[in-house]
Amino acid sequence: MFRPIIVALGDSTTAGTPGFASPLEAAPAGAGDVESQYAYWLAQAHPDWMVLNRGINGERTDHIRARFARDVVDVRADVVVIIAGVNDVYQGLAAASIARELEATYDMARRARIAVVAGTIVPYNTAGRDENARMNAVNDWIRRYADAHADSVVFCDTRAAVAAAGDADRLAESPDGLHPSPDGYRRMAAALEPAVCAALAMTQGLR
């Protein structure tokens, strides 16, 4: 029976920080609270999917792009979920430079005929006005890119999934003020699940 491979590619909010260290951080299977990662909740919802957590805490978009071939192409992924950019923002990089790196990564997936779920940068509670402005600018760009490449890219607003009610720039729940709680990761997965299903439906047309 066909079992699609879904690669979760990104930084700490993919790895599962602070509760979980991904398999790339703690080989071979990761370590910590397995519920503190959206990949776990996606796999629980779809046991027929192979969901691979390929998140690394602290990475910028350029680091993530640099390992795309190893972590996505080489495992013959059917769909890649990409959530990245928060560390670029934290380190003061401009929204335009983050968008360029994301575009290069999305384009790598499209050339490899791998459908993309493009998630938005999730909030962190210590972000100031400038950081939030840059995150929101990147997220607006992600939505526009997905709209322009609707044959191979599905947009998912993961920021909204974990945001506090009435305050889109703060996490609804967080153990450290920087990352979602296990329930936040569960809500990320709930938002991502229909997007992954839509991306899987695209794979026939891409291959």
Please report the domains of the chain, with CATH numbers, ordered by start residue.
5-206 (3.40.50.1110)
β-bridge mates for residue 81, sequence order = 8, 117
Asked if residues 167 and 125 have their Cβ atoms less than 8 Å apart, the reply is no
Of 82, 86, 89, 84, give the one whose Cα is nearest residue 106: 82
pLDDT tens digits for range 24-57: 999 999 999 999 999 999 999 999 999 999 999 9
Between CA 167 and CA 194 the distance in angstroms is 24
pLDDT at 207: 61
Between CA 18 and CA 8 the distance in angstroms is 17
pLDDT tens digits for range 69-124: 999 999 999 999 999 999 999 999 999 999 999 999 999 999 999 999 999 999 99
Asked if residues 156 and 191 have their Cβ atoms less than 8 Å apart, the reply is yes
